[in-house]
Amino acid sequence: MSHYESVFILNPALSEEQVNDVIKKYEKLLKDNDCTIVDIENWGLKKFAYKIQNKLSGFYALIDFEHNGDSNIINIYETELKRDERVMRFLNVKLDKDANDWAVKRRGKLKKEKA
């Protein structure tokens, strides 16, 4: 089973509802292609260190997912991210065992902070 993390930055002109709709769109795309969603985090609006597409901020989101089959889903997923005008930047990373262990720890910390 392959474990992935996907972080993407959305246009700051979007409303919170539109941001949630984009996240749900990609969650559905992954689920429809036999991926298991481990965690979704909406990090909210953050300032950039430098301009991206003449913008100084953007909405960050992270989707943590697993996939059993071939890696073709990543190509499909990245094509959709590239075509979506609301997505300013994205990064998809396949996690190894150590990175996956760290991600589990980080999620545990975040859940404790929210409680």
- CATH code, domain carrying 9: 3.30.70.60
Looking at residue 68, what is its pLDDT? 81
Dihedral in degrees, nearest 10, Cα atoms 41, 28, 15, 61: 30
Range of the domain at 64: 2-114
Mean pLDDT of the 6-33 span:
95
Domains contained in the chain, number = 1
Rounded to two decimals, the pTM is 0.85
Alpha carbon distance 65, 71 (integer Å): 13
The pLDDT of residue 69 is above 80: no
The pLDDT of residue 22 is above 80: yes
Looking at residue 28, what is its pLDDT? 95
The pLDDT of residue 78 is above 90: yes
